[in-house]
Amino acid sequence: EPTVVIVGAGQAGAECAIALRQQGFDGRIVLLGDEGHLPYRRPPLSKAFLSGKSSQDALYIKSESAWDDLAIDCRPDIGVEAIDRGSRTLHLFDGTRIAYDKLVLATGGRTRTLSVPGAEHPNVFCIRTIDDVLALQEEFVPGRRLVIVGGGYIGLEVAAVAVEKGLATTVVEAEARVLPRVGCDLLCDFFAEAHRRRGVELRLGTGVHAFEGEERAEAVVLADGTRLPADLVVVGIGIVPNTELAAAAGLDVSDGIVVDAQTRTSDPDIHAIGDCSYHANAFYGRSMRLESVPNAMEQGRVAAAVLAGKPAEHRAVPWFWSDQYDLKLQMVGLARDAERQVLRGSPEDGAFMVFHMAGDRAIAADAVNRPQEFALARRLVGERIPVQDAQLADTAVALKDLLA
Ligand code: FAD
């Protein structure tokens, strides 16, 4: 009976295993993870789980018995040390081996660390895993002074939870604006203002020089010399894809494990999916690495279909969301090639959209508290439907009428 082994029991690996069964694959499926937790969803880690509104149980994608029912051998406490492609065998950290016919790498990424003095202090935290949040929660107490390094979506989500909980919260961002990697000026200004209004202090355009203190970080010293006293620090400056296993096995690796639109690596028996993959996207006709749940799930499904012998390719338009306070941000498409922006609705009302235009097409769209219109915007972008700026800007024109 053929064996598919999936390395990495995260969002992509779990979806791939489930989708394999849905596709009718009846061979053996082994899902290996190294966190000691059954597969879980990471987005709540910086939102409802951090705030205490959601329990740890609610994070898990399936219960232990549900994995058993699918005949998926889910072993979340066994890391993979090496791939022997010649004998199609994995060497596990517990000293055992496991043979595969097809291998799926879903190893995700690890948090990027700051290489400044004091970064190793015990009150300097990051947020990637359940265990990271459990450690942080002990110090995440009202009245404490929290400095967040990084004004990306994770840093801002943590800031929103923290200030609502009563921590004195400062965000330090090296770039001149928050959400520097993803947002346009309008969106970045809107979120900066939303945080300031609720009491978050923003320090933009300056990096971190050091964490001062003997046994704990007691202050964050910025590149411009400012000294911010701190009881705890959260660093959210992005991730590094886990590509070492693939590279050591001789697979092609660039900014991620290189795969085609069928999720195949340079070895046709090995696939790679999710945050760790530098993948071809057939919609764009080029390759990219993405860090998002929709991408992890979509690639998991494509890999499963291909492994089950069905035609499939990855051509999904990327989309993403972030929740901060009562603000739901949703983004679709790649805005970087946009020629101009069109605003629909008004930021003052706290509900609006920004369309990123190239020629007579919207190539990307951002929505704040506009979930229904966002669903339609995904189709506008994904189906490359021609539209006029004036129609998008006019809230009296229903987006669904533009799709017809
Ligand atoms: P991961 O979920 O990282 O899973 C990879 C797994 O592989 C890990 O458990 C890792 O330990 C394991 N592994 C690695 N190497 C080995 C090995 N050698 N042997 C065995 N196991 C190994 N995305 C959104 O779309 N919306 C959001 O709102 C959002 N919020 C987020 C908030 C936080 C705090 C974080 C951390 C992420 C958030 N994301 C969000 C991103 C999203 O969670 C990731 O894109 C997604 O988890 C990627 O799934 P993955 O399976 O590729 O990787």
Tens digits of residue pLDDT in 186-240: 999 999 999 999 999 999 999 999 999 999 999 999 999 999 999 999 999 999 9
- Mean pLDDT over 15-27 rounds to 97
The overall average pLDDT reported for the chain is 97
Q: Looking at residue 180, what is its pLDDT?
A: 87
What distance in angstroms lies between residue 300's CA and the mean position of ligand 1's atoms? 13
What distance in angstroms lies between residue 129's CA and the mean position of ligand 1's atoms? 8
What gap in Å lies between CA 179 and CA 205, rounded to an integer? 12
Residues 47-94 have pLDDT tens digits of: 999 999 999 999 999 999 999 999 999 999 999 999 999 999 999 999
51 & 89 share domain: yes
Last residue of a domain, one of 213, 235, 257: 235
**For residue 190, what is the domain's CATH number?**
3.50.50.60
Which atom of ligand 1 is nearest the CA belonging to 290? 45
Q: Looking at residue 16, what is its pLDDT?
A: 98
Q: Whose CA is nearest to atom 4 of ligand 1?
A: 10
What distance in angstroms lies between residue 105's CA and the mean position of ligand 1's atoms? 12
100 & 118 share domain: no
- Joined together, the tokens standing for residue 262 give 């069928």
Last residue of a domain, one of 174, 200, 235: 235
pTM over 0.95: yes
What lines the ligand 1 site, CB under 6 Å?
7-13, 32-35, 42-43, 45-46, 79-80, 106-109, 127-128, 154, 242, 245, 274-276, 291-294, 296, 320-322
Q: Whose CA is nearest to atom 32 of ligand 1?
A: 43
Those residues whose C-beta lies under 8 Å from the C-beta of residue 111, and which sit 6 or more positions away, are: 126, 127, 128, 235, 236, 237, 238, 239, 240
Residues 228-282 have pLDDT tens digits of: 999 999 999 999 999 999 999 999 999 999 999 999 999 999 999 999 999 999 9
Residues 96-147 have pLDDT tens digits of: 999 999 999 999 999 999 999 999 999 999 999 999 999 999 999 999 999 9
Instruction: Decide if 215 is inside a domain.
Output: yes
Which atom of ligand 1 is nearest the CA belonging to 12? 51
Give the number of domains in the chain: 3
Burial 199-236 (b: 16+ CB within 10 A, else e): ebebbbebbbbbbbbeebbbbbbbeeeeebebbbbbbb
158 & 194 share domain: yes
Judged against a pLDDT cut of 90, whether residue 404 lies above it is answered with no
Instruction: Decide if 318 is inside a domain.
Output: no
117 & 231 share domain: yes
222 & 126 share domain: yes
Which atom of ligand 1 is nearest the CA belonging to 108? 53
Which atom of ligand 1 is nearest the CA belonging to 299? 52
- Mean pLDDT over 342-360 rounds to 96
Judged against a pLDDT cut of 90, whether residue 1 lies above it is answered with no
Q: Which of 16, 38, 42, 259 to mutate to test the pocket of ligand 1 (most atoms within 8 A of CB)?
A: 42
CA distances from 29 to 7, 26, 113, 262 (A): 11, 9, 34, 19
Q: Looking at residue 371, what is its pLDDT?
A: 97
Domain with 142, as residue range(s), is: 113-235
Q: Looking at residue 181, what is its pLDDT?
A: 84
Last residue of a domain, one of 235, 264, 285: 235
ipTM for the predicted complex? 0.99
